[in-house]
Amino acid sequence: MTKKGLLTKSERTVLEKLLNESDFKGKDMLRHLIWLNTTKPKYQIGDCFKVTDRSQRFFGVPAVNVNGRIKKIFTFKTEEVYHYELEVFVLNKDGRETTSSMFAVEEELKTKTKNNRNAIVGDGKYTESLEFYI
């Protein structure tokens, strides 16, 4: 392995030869191990993005285009895609606040923001989440 933890070309060749053996068990796990050690996540912990999860609500308002900060990066062994857990801080007009987690995959993270703070403004169906700075 190199200093960055990625496989060298010769190590990858040896593992790929194992995949071609007919009596080798655990090919899916080995394929996932090779993928993990030859790719790295596009974003890092601490980066902030706009995220949407219409099934999640803050103070009765759907979580649409809220700011979140990446706090964890993980994968599932059945997929070759990175998943991100984002921390979202929300303050409503009454001064109540909450912190919650939202989940997204790499292609859902498009718009970068400066922080993970959100203010819920207005009443009713068309309430929006606005960015604010402390």
104 and 60 both lie in a single domain: yes
Given a contact cutoff of 8 angstroms between Cβ atoms, the answer to whether 54 and 64 are in contact is yes
pLDDT at 38: 84
Q: Return the SS3 of 1.
A: coil
87 and 120 both lie in a single domain: yes
pLDDT at 4: 60
57 and 116 both lie in a single domain: yes
63 and 120 both lie in a single domain: yes
Token pair for residue 30?
């080995």
36 and 53 both lie in a single domain: no
Q: Compute the distance between CA of residue 86 and CA of residue 120 in angstroms, rounded to an integer.
A: 18
58 and 104 both lie in a single domain: yes
127 and 64 both lie in a single domain: yes
16 and 53 both lie in a single domain: no
pLDDT at 37: 85
23 and 56 both lie in a single domain: no
74 and 32 both lie in a single domain: no
Give the domain range for residue 31: 1-40
53 and 111 both lie in a single domain: yes
Residue 117: CB atoms within 10 Å: 20
pLDDT at 134: 40
Domain count, the chain: 2
pLDDT tens, residue order, the chain (134 aa): 455 667 888 888 888 888 888 888 888 888 888 888 888 899 999 999 999 988 888 887 888 889 999 999 999 988 899 999 999 999 887 788 899 999 999 999 999 999 999 888 755 554 455 554 44
> Which residues share a beta bridge with 101?
87
Chain centroid offset of residue 107 CA = 9
DSSP letters along 16-46, please? HHHHH-TT---HHHHHHHHHHTT---SS-TT
59 and 124 both lie in a single domain: yes
Q: Could you tell me whether strands 117-121 and 83-91 are parallel, antiparallel, or unpaired per DSSP bridges?
A: parallel
